[in-house]
Structure 1
Amino acid sequence: MIARREVRYDIDGLTMVGHMSRPGGGGPWPAVLLGHDGVGLDDYQRGRADDLAEHGYLTFAMDYHGGRTFFGEPQAMLDRALPLMANPARMLTIGQAALDVLLAEPGADHNQLATLGYGAGGRIVLELGRTGVPFKALAVIHPGLPTPRAEDWTNAGGTFLLCTGSEDPLCTPAQILTFGSALQDAGVDWRAHIYGGAKHAFWAAPTQPDGTPTGGADHLSPTVPGVGHHAAHSARAWRAVLDLFSESIGAGTSRRPRA
């Protein structure tokens, strides 16, 4: 049985509220750092951390909004996320603080390290990878992408997985492939998954105000343009992440992945 707990830590002028998920049994365990998307650290992404722990990965889901989420508040989310994404040094500081929390956790295997990021959280973990953090696997789902320059990625290692939807206007397939080409020119191993018909944040199932699923693909609360749920591709993207981590840092995939 996994163990999960809230972890508070101070960075960027805020008290962050992260989520640590530990596998059952004894360590050491391969370690995964997870970065949430711009809306905030929600139940879905805490659930991703828990699912990774059930697969044998010690996982820390960082926070970069000080415990806040921005459901139904797209402008407030953009006001917080866009200045952050315009400041690589600030993103790196936030990401490094979360990585320090993960690596300080008893049982973390510092030699078997991976990361996963969604949206703006994908950009944060990319900044860590760019500066040479020794991730053996780096997976990003509709990330905020930096300028694609091969010279910026010569210190990166491991295997990159880049995922987006064919209908995502914020992280387009063309942008993913251009960024992948820069990685390739830098000698980085990479792969891309483009999910046909999927929009931005295709993993995020719409919910009622009480948190129950609407059962549809369209969000009832205000969002940024181009957001929509795609259940089949949500499951496929998660399976791709699990396959990458199994290949790269060695924990098994005996459980059926959840959508």
Structure 2
Amino acid sequence: MKKYLTLMFVLGLIVFASCKSKSEQTPKSNEVSEELPVEIKGEEVIYASDSTNLKGYIAFDSNATEKRPGVLIVHEWWGHNNYVRQRADMLAELGYTALAVDMYGDGKLAEHPEDAGKFAMSVMSNLPEATARFNAAMALLKSHASVDVEKTAAIGYCFGGSVVLTMANSGADLDAVAAFHSGVQLPIMPSTDLKAKILVCNGADDPFISAESITAFKHALDSVNADYKYIAYPGVLHSFTSKEADANGKKFDLPLAYDADADAKSWASLQELFEEAF
């Protein structure tokens, strides 16, 4: 009997040691792998419509592995400059892949408001070409490995706001569109072709945007039961999201002014729009 108990004790020790060894070798199932930090990668990209060579900039988190929504950003009337690239980087930090587009061709920039006006008019007066350039950018964005092609949006500033609103009104397949200090008297007004959620953030004291055009724009949106939000910031002028607005306003004697509060609030509203849309 004593030998039997001794044998059982030894066997128990062997089993215990074996189980302990296995548990030490097997990682705990509830351990969470460490997330990599956000690593923004920005790349210049060359693309084209049928008639125009275009120079853009795409930004994304290179450490993220999951597919994410893609966002087009259309520049102010000055052209594709550092400002629109900074906004692309900001969207990439929020978890999107953002493409700052070129609507003028060859990365062309305006040095004076007269040139900017001519460049902008050349695009808005030729909607087939404007649409082709916008669609070329969208095709490039969707071809990026990081983008979920079922989730897309477009935002724009000043001239760019008018572009993205016009594209949305013409039936572009977008989940959300946001326009900042943008005119709303558009070549194509809202109709049943509109699919996107709409956000417009403007300065209430922007002299470039008439009260009549706002009324007509809202009426058109209401007539098709559009999902939209129009925000007007009291005391705020044109180009309120750009820190270069004050200098440009003085240089060219234009009613432009940066407004930090409106800038921050409009960016927060954009994030809310994307959370709802995606």
TM category (shorter chain) comes to 0.7 to 0.9
Percentage of matched positions with identical amino acids: 28
Give 2:254's match in structure 1, choosing from 214, 221, 225. 225
Q: Are 1:169 and 2:207 matched, yes or no?
A: yes
C-alpha distance in 1 between matches for 2:72 and 2:229: 20
Q: Give the alignment's Cα RMSD to 1 decimal.
A: 2.2
Give 1:69's match in structure 2, choosing from 89, 97, 109. 109
Q: Give the drift of 1:19.
A: 0.8
TM-aligned CA distance change 1:59 to 1:111, over 3 Å? same
Give 2:266's match in structure 1, choosing from 230, 237, 240. 237
Q: Give the drift of 1:186.
A: 1.4
Give 2:191's match in structure 1, choosing from 153, 157, 161. 153
* Structure 1 length-normalised TM: 0.84
* Structure 2 length-normalised TM: 0.78
C-alpha distance in 2 between matches for 1:9 and 1:221: 36
The answer (yes or no) to whether the contact 2:103–2:133 under 8 Å persists in 1 is yes
In structure 2, the partner of 1:121 is: 160
TM-aligned CA distance change 1:177 to 1:142, over 3 Å? farther
Q: Give the drift of 1:221.
A: 6.0
- After superposition, the C-alpha distances for 1:72-127 in whole angstroms (9 at most, x for unaligned) are x1111111111222222222112111111111111211211111011221222223
C-alpha distance in 2 between matches for 1:106 and 1:245: 20
C-alpha distance in 1 between matches for 2:53 and 2:76: 18
Q: Which has the higher helix share?
A: 2
Q: Relative contact order, CA 8 A, sep 6+: which one is greater?
A: 1
TM-aligned CA distance change 1:179 to 1:130, over 3 Å? same
In structure 2, the partner of 1:189 is: 227
Give the 3-state SS of the residue equivalent to 1:175 in structure 2.
Answer: helix
Give 2:88's match in structure 1, choosing from 45, 49, 52. 49
Query: Which has the larger Rg?
Result: 2
Give the 3-state SS of the residue equivalent to 2:248 in structure 1.
Answer: coil
- After superposition, the C-alpha distances for 1:181-221 in whole angstroms (9 at most, x for unaligned) are 201211211111101111111111138xxxxxxxxx45366
Q: Give the drift of 1:67.
A: 1.2
Gaps of 5+ in 2: 1-38
In structure 2, the partner of 1:214 is: none
Q: Are 1:179 and 2:217 matched, yes or no?
A: yes
Q: Are 1:138 and 2:177 matched, yes or no?
A: yes
